[in-house]
Chains A and B, each alone.
Chain A
Amino acid sequence: MTYDGRNFEGEILELLMARVPGGMPVSVDTQIVGGLGLDSVAILDFIMDLEDHFDISIPLDRIAEVQTVAELSSAVEGLLRATR
């Protein structure tokens, strides 16, 4: 996924790996909720990381249905397009 020359999925995976305990493998198809041993608060903190990294607001209701890194990447790209 690219927009503005950026690899969103790669950047998101990097941020996610920093949050995941024990070096668990993550990919674009990884289920963020339930698949990584992250509790609900840790996932919300990860979303904050994304907000700061991409300098956008990610309202919690916008990502309620998001399950995988690929879906999250699409949501982030959509929000960035809407902001710029």
Chain B
Amino acid sequence: MSLFQKFDPIRAGLDLLVANGRNPFELRFEKILSPTEALLDGRTILLLGTNNYLGLTFDPACIEASSRALHAAGTGTTGSRIANGTYCDHAVLERRIAEFYGRRSAITFTTGYQANLGLIATLAGHGDHLLIDADSHASIYDASKLSNAEVIRFRHNDPEDLAHRLRRLKGRPGNRFIVTEGIYSMLGDAAPLREIAVVKREMGAYLIVDEAHSLGILGENGRGLCEAAGVEADVDFIVGTFSKSLGAVGGFATSDLPGFDLMRLACRAYMFTASLPPAVVASVIASLRRISTDGSLRARVISSCRRLYFGLDQAGFEVGPQPNPIVAVRMPDRETAAQFWNRLLDEGVYANLALPPATPGSLCLIRCSVSSAHTEAQIDRAVSIMTAVATELRVLGAARPHLSPNAGAAQSAS
């Protein structure tokens, strides 16, 4: 057996995609024109799959701050905070994050993936119990594997199921950690956090919420689902990323619990990797300031995502359960999904092709993400093109319940 033979199923999946058009993993954007447009094969493409929710990647203040830091402090830190030390702006950013959330302290990581990996794997140890939502992001699964805790999945967005699984642990020693996300990255559905917080209080557990897709979007001040659901006091740890609404790269965890900063000396994903470069840190400080003081970005992205969601819904697409900045539409199978994605590109729209096992319920999806930088005309054009392609490929059906993670499983079982 050759070294790479174990990847044969992956090759078969890739072959199927390529047989239906482009290789999605080899697209090359020649130029990024703005948060909503790029050049691909010499043509201007509407970007509808970049998670650039607040359109801050080209914000003049962020670019200026980033540029100044680049010239003042260089291109990189060339090592970890533990080995090479902390730059002033690392500490400033952590203080600003803690202030934004009203918590005692915050720790930054080099990516959002590492933030989950570091926090969860370090907090939950041998004899502890991690209860993770079944639709958790890969970083939460990987963190669970890396921890020495016992890992139990609960049914997606089901607080009663969570309570049931916690009750099964009754009498067993060890801390309980519940892990959930603000907005789930594939269908765009938000967690029932108020109800999960009740379970947390009643059953005695720590609550970790990953606000990667909800930071800057939900809540009156953009603090995410914890704020929107009014349960910030119940949430022990918030994790987030700088790579979506804040327009850069990196991640963070914040907490009000005393002793949280000791994680810096125990968390391997923090200790043994290079820290964020100065230009990134400076742009995140600027973008965090922007979202803290300017609610218009949030209002615009919410308006745009409702326009896309209801536009596609009315056109006959099977959309996700809630109008959030991730708007996914269901495809009947892998081949059609690949053809649909290719036809969208032909017509000048870039969205995400999302296929099992990266999707809940084995669903095949075209996943769109909306930005506050999108104009109404761009959103309308996307709806129009998607509808035309769907008509051409006979995707639109008469019966179209809203998507749920169990929809695919139900289909395959029938």
A pairs with B: yes
A positions within 8 Å CB-CB of B: 18-19, 21, 39-42, 44-45, 47-48, 51, 55-62
Asked if B357 and A59 make an inter-chain contact with CB atoms under 8 angstroms apart, the answer reads no
Collect the chain B residues with CB atoms within 8 Å of residue A55's CB: 168
- From A18, A48, A56, B134 is in contact (CB under 8 Å) with A48
Q: Does B356 contact A (CB under 8 A)?
A: yes
Known contacts: A18-B413, A45-B134, A48-B153. The answer to whether A57 contacts B362 by CB under 8 A is: no
Collect the chain B residues with CB atoms within 8 Å of residue A39's CB: 356-357, 362
Q: Does B412 contact A (CB under 8 A)?
A: yes
Q: Does B152 contact A (CB under 8 A)?
A: yes
Q: For chain B, which range describes its interface: under 10, 10 to 19, 20 to 34, or 35 or more residues?
A: 10 to 19
Collect the chain A residues with CB atoms within 8 Å of residue B134's CB: 44-45, 48
Q: Give min CB distance, A33 to chain B, whole Å.
A: 11
Asked if B413 and A57 make an inter-chain contact with CB atoms under 8 angstroms apart, the answer reads no
Collect the chain B residues with CB atoms within 8 Å of residue A60's CB: 144-145, 151-153
A51–B161 alpha-carbon span in the complex (Å): 11
Asked if A56 and B168 make an inter-chain contact with CB atoms under 8 angstroms apart, the answer reads yes
- From B144, B155, B165, A57 is in contact (CB under 8 Å) with B165
Collect the chain B residues with CB atoms within 8 Å of residue A21's CB: 412
- From A19, A40, A44, B153 is in contact (CB under 8 Å) with A44
Asked if B150 and A59 make an inter-chain contact with CB atoms under 8 angstroms apart, the answer reads yes
Known contacts: A45-B134, A45-B409. The answer to whether A59 contacts B356 by CB under 8 A is: no
Asked if A61 and B153 make an inter-chain contact with CB atoms under 8 angstroms apart, the answer reads no
- From B152, B169, B357, A40 is in contact (CB under 8 Å) with B357
Asked if A59 and B151 make an inter-chain contact with CB atoms under 8 angstroms apart, the answer reads yes
Q: Does B55 contact A (CB under 8 A)?
A: no
A41–B134 alpha-carbon span in the complex (Å): 9
